[in-house]
């Protein structure tokens, strides 16, 4: 798999050969897209979301992981709060 958190795509390099397996993984991984909600989110630059987190949390590469959204919002809130104190 391209990442330990991603269940797909999978290729067995012992069967396909390392180079062909790598090329197949690259091609299939390039077809996976972040959810539109994530790519258009104003918090995207500070968010740690990736497609592996999407599929791990929701079971679908195309669904937004609410936990990560809430965590990012909390990080932003607490950072602003701390900057007001100091």
> What pLDDT digit, counting tens, does each position of 38-61 carry?
999 999 999 999 999 999 999 999
At 70-83, the pLDDT tens digits run 999 999 999 998 88
Q: Among residues of the chain, what percentage have pLDDT more than 70? A: 98
3-state secondary structure of 74: helix
The dihedral through the CA atoms of 41, 33, 65, 3 has a sign that is negative
**What is the predicted pLDDT for the residue at 85?**
65
Is residue 81 within 8 Å of 73, Cβ to Cβ?
Answer: no
Rounded to whole angstroms, how far apart are CA atoms 41 and 27? Answer: 26
């Amino acid at each position: 798999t391209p990442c330990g958190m991603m269940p797909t795509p999978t290729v067995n390099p012992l069967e396909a050969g390392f180079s062909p397996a790598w090329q197949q993984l690259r091609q299939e991984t390039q077809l996976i897209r972040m959810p539109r909600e994530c790519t258009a989110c104003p918090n995207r630059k500070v968010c740690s979301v990736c497609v592996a987190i999407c599929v791990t949390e929701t079971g679908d590469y195309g669904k937004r992981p609410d936990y990560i959204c809430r965590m990012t919002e909390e990080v932003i809130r607490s950072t602003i709060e701390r900057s007001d104190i100091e």
